Amino acid sequence: ELMEIMHWRSVFQVYSLVGIVWAVAFWFVFRTRPEQHPLVDSVDEVPGLSDRAPDEHVSVELAIPSDGLESSVPTLPGIDEDESPPAPRLWQLIAHASIFWMCVQAPFRAAGYNLFVTYFPEFLERGHGMSVGEAARMATWPFIGVIAGGLVGGVVIDTLQKLTGNRTISRSGFAAVALVLTTVLTVLSAYAPTPGQVVLLITLGSAFSGMASPAVWAGLIDLGGKHAAVVSGASNMIGCLAGVVFTPLVGILVDRIKENGSGWDVLILVHAGFYACAALAFMFVRIGDRPVTEPTADEGSDESPDSDSMVWQDDQR
């Protein structure tokens, strides 16, 4: 519709303004640590932090001296600062079982979402006889579901953490349940008789997939500790494989569907399968109270990140 009233370059400029507004809002609202936020009076108010021992807080912070750019990483109790182990390599971080499965889920969850940014409008147009404009308007609802789900999901995982004190339940457990519900709703949408019912079911499914997102990022932070940025970046990068691998394959499927003139429900079922694979991966993720990438005080005194015990270890310590 914007293309009817403005040049395509102007459409891109309008979309860019949204990003600029968001960046400004992020600058004023975001804080590196929750307890630094003016609305947080104490650590006890922050879900997931109040139940950690003081020495566990220090593992995720960097102290940057005012006289230089070198950062010094606080060490664990019992480990001399001069003997701090070197930072583990990327493959060593991913070799932890739970981090590995967090990386496995990423491309499947992204592949499920890719339906909304690729072929969903065409699915409504060709599979359910909608006009181009009507299909475009209806295709916005899954995005609304993802946004709403993300906002609700953050509250839910904080509440679960307060109630259970268990990060596996409030992170990977919740994400698995949410994506199972997404899978079920997506499958049901493939057999819905009317376009309105299809969009409703898809939107509900997208809302549950959106709820899983805060659990993913919180889980990666809990697992990664002071290496959370690397772990989160690796998982996100691997998630981009969905666009490289799955999208071309889905494009081939869509071409076959067009040739046959039917079978659009198969497109939906394939994306339901992507969500099911992501849910399955979360079932193997275990998140304890201490980041799996950091040794305990006893382990740190005689083990380095290169030791075999750091690989595929029991994540619940």
DSSP string, 137-170: HHTTHHHHHHHHHHHHHHHHHHHHHHHH--HIII
Q: What are phi and psi of 289, to 5 degrees?
A: -80, -15
Q: What percent of the chain has pLDDT above 90?
A: 51
121 and 246 fall within a common domain: yes
Q: Tokens for 83?
A: 């003997």
Query: Cα–Cα distance between 190 and 202 in angstroms, integer?
Result: 9
| One-letter amino acid of 5 | I
Assess if residue 94 is contained within a domain: yes
Assess if residue 43 is contained within a domain: no
pLDDT tens figures, 275-306: 999 999 999 999 988 888 776 655 554 444 44
Assess if residue 36 is contained within a domain: no
Assess if residue 229 is contained within a domain: yes
Assess if residue 49 is contained within a domain: no
Q: What are phi and psi of 190, to 5 degrees?
A: -65, -25
The count of C-alpha atoms lying within 13 angstroms of the C-alpha of 223, restricted to the half-sphere facing its C-beta, is 33
- So what's the pLDDT on residue 124? 92
pLDDT average, residue stretch 133-154: 93
pLDDT of 312 over the 50 cut? no
Assess if residue 52 is contained within a domain: no
3 and 114 fall within a common domain: no
- So what's the pLDDT on residue 206? 96
162 and 24 fall within a common domain: no
- So what's the pLDDT on residue 29? 86
12 and 94 fall within a common domain: no
Query: Cα–Cα distance between 28 and 47 in angstroms, integer?
Result: 22
pTM of the shown model:
0.75
pLDDT average, residue stretch 122-148: 91
Q: How many domains does the chain have?
A: 2
CATH number of the domain where residue 179 is located:
1.20.1250.20
Q: What confidence tier does 83 reach under pLDDT thresholds 50, 70, 90?
A: low
16 and 122 fall within a common domain: no
Maximum CA extent, the chain: 69
94 and 22 fall within a common domain: no
- So what's the pLDDT on residue 65? 41
10 and 134 fall within a common domain: no
Alpha-helical regions (H) of the chain:
2-5, 8-29, 54-57, 90-94, 97-117, 120-128, 132-138, 141-164, 167, 174-190, 195-224, 228-239, 241, 247-260, 264-282, 297-300
Q: What confidence tier does 15 reach under pLDDT thresholds 50, 70, 90?
A: confident
**What is the separation, in whole angstroms, between the first and last Cα of the chain?**
55
Mean pLDDT, the chain, rounded, equals 82
Q: Is 223 exposed, middle or buried (0-12, 13-18, 19+ CB in 10 A)?
A: buried
- So what's the pLDDT on residue 77? 52
130 and 265 fall within a common domain: yes
17 and 117 fall within a common domain: no
Of 77, 39, 83, give the one whose Cα is nearest residue 57. Answer: 77
5 and 132 fall within a common domain: no
Q: Tokens for 248?
A: 């071309």
Structural domain that includes position 117:
90-282
- So what's the pLDDT on residue 64? 38
- So what's the pLDDT on residue 72? 42
Assess if residue 155 is contained within a domain: yes
pLDDT of 98 over the 80 cut? yes
pLDDT average, residue stretch 250-266: 89
133 and 205 fall within a common domain: yes
Query: Cα–Cα distance between 264 and 246 in angstroms, integer?
Result: 17
pLDDT tens figures, 24-71: 999 888 887 777 777 776 656 555 555 554 444 444 444 434 443 344
pLDDT tens figures, 155-192: 999 999 999 999 999 999 999 999 999 999 999 999 99
Q: What confidence tier does 84 reach under pLDDT thresholds 50, 70, 90?
A: low
101 and 11 fall within a common domain: no
Assess if residue 82 is contained within a domain: no
